[in-house]
Structure 1
Amino acid sequence: MDVIKDILRNFKENSLLQAKFERHLKVAIKTKKRGDFLFLYGTFLGFGTQLFWSIYPFSQNKKLLPVNGWYPYNPMNSPSYELTSFFQIFASAFNISHTMNIDSFTINLMMQTGMQCDFLQLTLKNIMQFHTVDGILCQSLQQNTEPLEDILTPNLKTCIRHYIEIKRIARKLEDIYRTSMAVVFLGGAFIFCAIFYQMLHSQRDPTEIFYLLFFLFSMLTEQFIFCWFGNEITFKSGQIHGALYTIPWVDCSVKFRKML
């Protein structure tokens, strides 16, 4: 938990990780919209599953609980049946909400890391538009008349510090989520098998079919999104090296080229 708090504090307070000019802001807004959309889409799938799972027992011709279990009383007698059903439905809704928020939080951390790669890539491609003040990049509002190398050297050093910070955050995220991601994917494989098996033995009840389909798409979406944003960090970090070649290094000294 302390490591996660440190990462969040870093994103909020570290000047290296803040947007520096308009194109950075556009990337940040786009990232936020993607995060909001994925949260709403996850909410739709999660509570769609919850809805059809909840009403399925009541659509049958006999009393059924959403989840079979042992109780120190007869749960089929009224009002025990209604209270037990309500408790199970409420507990399931809470569990879905909890899982959905944890997944959304994790995905947003991954998106923020990818966004920092975009920030750094854009900074390198537009490095002449900045000047360094107290180790922080600031956008130059007027054309800079200083010698080329005097502009590039401090800017590049700041970009290197930014890159090191991104690597540090990515390594922390990997250490935190490595084991849990393995559990998610192994558990997801088991759940897929269970869903398909249950669909094969379904009584063609529309409520049950919709519940299983929503559950299936929820699990597929969870695994796909984790794979997508994990690979996106790898892809975007690789593009940073390509952005280095857009720096006007040809007119610089050998010392600067070696630093580059």
Structure 2
Amino acid sequence: MSIVKKLMRMLDDDLFQPRDVSQVALVQPNLDVWKMIYKAFMTTCCGSNLFWAVFPLLDKSSEGNRLPFLAWYPYNTKISPMYEITYAHQVLSYTCTCVTPINVDTFIAAINVYTTSQFDILCDILRNLHLSNNVGAKCVRHYWIILNFAYNSNKFFNWIILLQFCVSATITAMTLFQLTIVEPSQLNFFLSCLMEWQL
């Protein structure tokens, strides 16, 4: 958390701010691509969550009071209000487990986009160096601050990416194993494929 706070303080530095409208326009395409990626991730996440939340209610092949996910509870989940509470708990839990990694991943992408944008701003300043006075020292300072920001960014998210990679590989292996023991014509096969695709 201390590294994230340090990164946020660095973002407020005056050298990191665009100098004019042309520099804002220079970095805007990068920000637009990041926003598009974020919206795409969130749309697929929300669609998947909606599917998992609604599917047991619409599935006519199963008995009544089916939960979205199979789980053992120390109480009877078939009776009201325990069924409704457990159902809501599973939907909320699954939503949190989907939204959290997406936000972490897109936050890391935003940091990388911001680093790239800083280099674009610095290149623009260097291209127009002949139009300004006494900015040479500021350019060198800006360059070192960008490198420091990039170093701290990598320090922040290296372990996060490694952990997510390991967890994703484990989930993929478990899902693929489940696919080998389920008949391809069963609904669980398609649900496992959907879960794998979402990863």
For Structure 1 versus Structure 2, the TM-score category normalised by the shorter chain is 0.7 to 0.9
**Corresponding residue for 1:61?**
62
Superposed, 1:179-190 pairs within 5 Å as 179-190=159-170
What's the counterpart of residue 162 of structure 1?
Answer: 142
Deviation at 1:199, TM superposition (A): 4.3
Letter in 2 for 1:10: M
CA distance, structure 2, for counterparts of residue 128 and residue 202 of structure 1: 70
Aligned residues of 1:49 and 1:212 also touching (Cα < 8 A): no
Instruction: Tell me whether 1:11 sits opposite 2:11 in the alignment.
Output: yes
1:48–1:211: 8 Å Cα contact kept in structure 2?
no
- 2: distance between equivalents of 1:218 and 1:117? 33
Question: Map of 1:134-153 to 2, 5 A cutoff?
Answer: none
| CA 117–48 in structure 1, closer or farther in 2 if over 3 Å, else same | same
Q: Which has the larger radius of gyration?
A: 1
Q: Structure 1 205/39 Cα, relative in aligned 2: closer, same or farther at 3 Å?
A: farther
Query: Structure 2: any 5+ residue segments left out of the alignment?
Result: none
On the 8 A contact 2:52/2:68 being kept in 1, the answer is yes
Measure how far apart 1:24 and its partner are.
1.5
Q: Tell me by how many angstroms 1:74 deviates.
A: 1.2
Q: TM-score, with normalisation over the residues of structure 1?
A: 0.66
Question: Residue type matched to 1:27 in 2?
Answer: L
Change (3 A) 1:121 1:70: same
Give runs of aligned pairs for residues 1-260 of structure 1, distance below 5 A: 1-12=1-12, 14-58=13-57, 59=59, 60-63=61-64, 64-132=66-134, 155-200=135-180, 201=182, 204=185, 209=190, 212-213=193-194, 215-219=195-199
In angstroms, what is the RMSD of aligned CA positions? Answer: 2.5
Secondary structure of residue in 1 paired with 2:133: strand
Deviation for aligned residue 1:166:
0.7
How many residue pairs are counted as aligned between the two chains? 195
Q: Does the Cα contact within 8 Å between 1:42 and 1:100 map onto a contact in 2?
A: yes
- What is the CA–CA distance in structure 2 between the aligned matches of 1:115 and 1:7, rounded to whole Å? 15
**Offset of residue 187 of structure 1:** 1.6
1:24 and 1:119 in contact (8 A); partners too: yes
